[in-house]
Structure 1
Amino acid sequence: MKATLLKLALGFVAALTLAGAHALEVTDDRGVTVHLDKPPQRIVSLLPSLTETVCELGQCARLVGVDRYSNFPKSVQSLPQVGGGLDPSIEAIVALKPDVVLMATSSRAAQRLESLGLNVVALEPKSHADVRRVLDKVGQLLAVPDAARVWRVIEASMAAAAQSLPLAVRNTRVYFEVNRAPYAAGETSFIGETLTRLGAQNVVPAKLGSFPKLNPEFVVRANPDVIMVGDRNYAGMEGRPGWGGIRAVQRNNVCVFSVAQSDVLVRPGPRMADGARIMARCLQSILAKPEAAQ
């Protein structure tokens, strides 16, 4: 009898030890520490870059729901959509019974979800350094040990994109428009960081902020050599007052990105290296023009 009780006691201790080994805690970008008994198996993601991060870490199968803008990789397009990231359907999320909900810090849904007993981890990458940090955080949350390897691949690929460009890129002044208001990608944005990494010059200085709304006359005065813009925002650009005199417009040095390319370019996530390659190809095509040598 004593031997049986001893075995039961030892088994109970072993179970507690095993449970403790799988327990984890993650502090998100709000400074909130989330405690979990084990790595989450059912995840709802409300930010495309976080959805892509989960999948880049090889854990797409754990996703049970996403926001309406998460469309990569293709497999997530068949998952239930729970609305926008800022104002998702609380009822739809609860119905999916997630172990954790990943969202941006700017989302208004966190407190409501937490009041209903759901675990929320808010992470919002805005820079290259943030992408690396979020990869590590999500890797920690999902108990994926090789998140650092994923970052090394991104870093190496970005370096290769930069090395593919000639030295002449250093004299190339670029205007990257993210919205026709117009909002632009400044030097301090993650897009601006990529342009700097490629060796190009951004006509929107750091002092204006990451994604400033500009007076269109600012771009006329800046007179960029190259304009980068998504096709959703390109319509009517060349007809803006004074824009016909911009060097990039006169020389047709305007790279118009498809919707799919724009998704890659404007998401600070694991496809940043793909974005660098897209921008590098744009610059290569322009630098290869005969007039570029003049």
Structure 2
Amino acid sequence: MNIKRMSKLGVLICLLSFALYGQSAFAQMTEITDDEGSTIRFDKPFSRIISLYPAHTENLAFLGCDEEFIGIGRSDNYPASISDKNRFSYRDNTEKFLAARPDLILIRPMISRSVPELISKLRSAGITVVSLQPTNIDQMFDYWRLLGLLTGKTTEADKMVQQFTLALDQLEDSIPVPREERPRVYFEAIHSKMKTFAPDAISMFALETGGGLNIANDAVARNNSNIAPYGKERILAKANEIDIYLSQTGRMNRVSLTDIYNEPGFQLIKALQTNSVFLVDEELVSRPTMRLLTGISKIQSALYPVLRREQPDVASHEPLFTPQTQLQKWQ
């Protein structure tokens, strides 16, 4: 996949203003369409934001937002600078949101499906609600730029894209073998349900740019998800071909190395026989944030011993790329 090939916008961005100058005021009106087809019009950046998805929170912090946050999700844990923000959940009542007086609430489609009545009430009360969640890498840059539009940080969003692309090139250049010699990897998404990722999922982009070959490239996602059922029989059918067994770990997949090694039948898998089973934090490989670079680096460390920077089977939140260090580079 060529990250430098810009996709058509995953969300329709139609600028009705004459120009946007960095963080300056909008000339007239900006119109966008979010990932659920809702049209949003605004004539100035939003400044009282509640983010209900950790990726939104992380990306906005990376863009330099701080005082703009009046609330974040209960599970949002990165970066440390947002730890003192007021906490919200999509299961909170309408009154809690109204009392905070936000001008923008950022959600993702799953929230709309879970609490449609809440979203309807918030919009009826005059609060702008925008639903975003890129599902593959081709949509990620457009998503970052859209967050820049909403907050008036368009220059920072462009620099974010540039910095990601530059760092990605450096990571790809460090892969020590040609493609035909790269290890074949089964990348587990949910152990208990024997699920992997769709071939075009962000996690699979991390695997492939990290130097691995997806052995489950015939997986098919269901229900508009990036997660794809694979089944133990299909995994074991490729047991002799799986050089590396990689699994995300976190809230979605609470799994340990012991769980994988003790799974009945898995002793037939080549990767288990050679002790080539590794865990990587799901926050680093499943979210459309700059820390995806850290996830790719950790995958490289697991696949290629010569590149190992730390024990790759220990899931870690420690990033190689932080909002603070990147902003310093931009200044």
TM-score, normalising length: structure 2? 0.74
Pick one of 170, 174, 180 that aligns with 1:160: 170
Match of 1:107, as an amino acid? I
- Alpha-carbon distance between aligned partners in 2 of 1:62 and 1:22, rounded to the nearest angstrom: 22
Q: 1:22 to 1:271 in 2, by over 3 A?
A: farther
Task: Give the corresponding residue for 1:4.
Answer: none
Residue equivalent to 1:74: 80
2:230 to 214, 221, 224: 214
Higher share of residues assigned helix: 1
Distance of 1:225 and 1:286 partners within structure 2? 16
Structure 1 residue 27: Cα displacement: 2.2
Distance (Å, rounded) in 1 between the aligned partners of 2:165 and 2:246: 23
Shift of residue 94 of structure 1? 2.1
> 1:268 Cα shift?
2.1
Cα gap change, 1:107/1:222 in structure 2, threshold over 3 Å: closer, same or farther? same
Structure 1 CA distance, aligned partners of 2:166 and 2:93?
39
| Alignment partners' CA distance in 2, 1:53 and 1:220 | 39
The whole-number CA distance in structure 2 between the counterparts of 1:168 and 1:248 is 21
1:99 to 90, 93, 103: 103
SS in structure 2 opposite 1:268? coil
1:118-160, CA deviations, whole angstroms, 9 ceiling, x for partnerless residues? 1011111111122111111111111112212111111221221
Closer/same/farther in 2, CA of residues 207 and 226 from structure 1, 3 Å limit? closer
Q: Which amino acid letter does the alignment assign opposite residue 126 of structure 2?
A: G
Q: Percent identity?
A: 25
Aligned-residue offset at 1:41: 0.8
Q: CA deviation at 1:213?
A: 1.9
Opposite residue 40 of structure 2, the aligned amino acid is V
The question of 1:229 aligning with 2:247 is answered yes
SS in 2 for 1:233: coil
Aligned position for 1:140: 149
Residue correspondences, number: 266
Q: Are 2:194 and 2:230, in contact at CA under 8 Å, matched by a contact in 1? A: yes
Distance 1:286 1:250 in 2: 21
TM-score, normalised via structure 1 length: 0.82
2:139 counterpart letter in structure 1: D
Provide the C-alpha distance between the structure 1 equivalents of 2:27 and 2:307, rounded to a whole number of angstroms: 55
CA contact (8 A) 1:154 1:270 kept: yes
* 2:137 corresponds to 1:128: yes
Highest CA radius of gyration, 1 or 2?
1
Residue 136 of structure 1 aligns with an amino acid whose one-letter code is: R
SS in 1 for 2:297: helix
**2:291 aligned with 1:277:** no
- 2:296 partner letter: A
Q: 2:295 corresponds to which letter in structure 1?
A: G
User: Which residue of the partner structure matches residue 128 of structure 2?
Assistant: 119
CA distance in 1, matches of 2:206, 2:153: 27
Kept in 2: contact 1:158–1:277 (CA 8 A): no
Show structure 2 runs of 5+ residues with no match. Answer: 1-23, 309-331
Q: Describe the superposition over 1:83-110 as per-residue Cα deviations: whole angstroms up to 9, x where unpaired.
A: 25xx454333222211100110221243
Deviations 1:192-246 (A, max 9, x none): 1222223321111155234212212222222211111245322422122210111
Is 1:173 equivalent to 2:179 in the alignment?
A: no
In structure 2, relative to structure 1, the CA distance for the partners of 1:61 and 1:183 (3 Å cut) is farther
Q: Is 2:198 aligned against 1:198? A: no
Query: Is there any run of 5+ residues in structure 1 with no aligned partner, and where?
Result: 1-17, 289-294
- Asked whether 1:263 is paired with 2:283, we answer yes
2:228 aligned partner, one-letter code:
P
Cα distance, 1:253–1:19 mapped onto 2, change above 3 Å:
closer
| Pairwise CA distance, 1:252 | 0.7
Quickly say closer, same or farther: Cα 1:248–1:19, change in 2 above 3 A. Answer: closer
Q: Which residue of 1 aligns with 2:15?
A: none
Shift of the 274–60 alpha-carbon distance from structure 1 to 2, 3 Å rule, reads farther
* 3-state DSSP of counterpart to 1:165: coil
